[in-house]
Amino acid sequence: MHGIDFLELAGYGGADTGGEHGVRLLKDLDLDIGGRDVLLIDDVVDTGLTLNYLFRTLSLRQPRSLTAAAFLDRPYRRLVEDLPVRYVGFTVPDEFFVGYGFDLDERYRHLPDLHVVRANGNVKIRPA
């Protein structure tokens, strides 16, 4: 049996790197994942702290397997080793991206492709 479910996480307390003390669960899974193969889909994997927290939390529910897919990956910023990110769309440099759903202060989300934000006083955007 296949299913799709959603989690919603939020950072808090000024912890911009996530992790156990910087993440709260706003919306939990509705489905029971016990004994099931679970694939987490994430937009960007950076330090890995948030994803590591999620893996530890969901592992307690005893899925048969637990792995992740990421649209953008920054493995050189990892603070957590051995994250099971099995599928990666693009490995990207340490730059800020907008467009394709990513925003900067609620702007640029509508752009149909990814752009890198350059800040030299003014925000300048160039294609990624």
The catalytic site residues sit at 46
Cβ neighbours for 33, distance < 8 A, ≥ 6 positions apart: 58, 61, 62, 63
Question: Cα dihedral angle (83, 53, 30, 106), rounded to 10 degrees?
Answer: -90
* Sign of the CA dihedral running 104, 110, 114, 118: negative
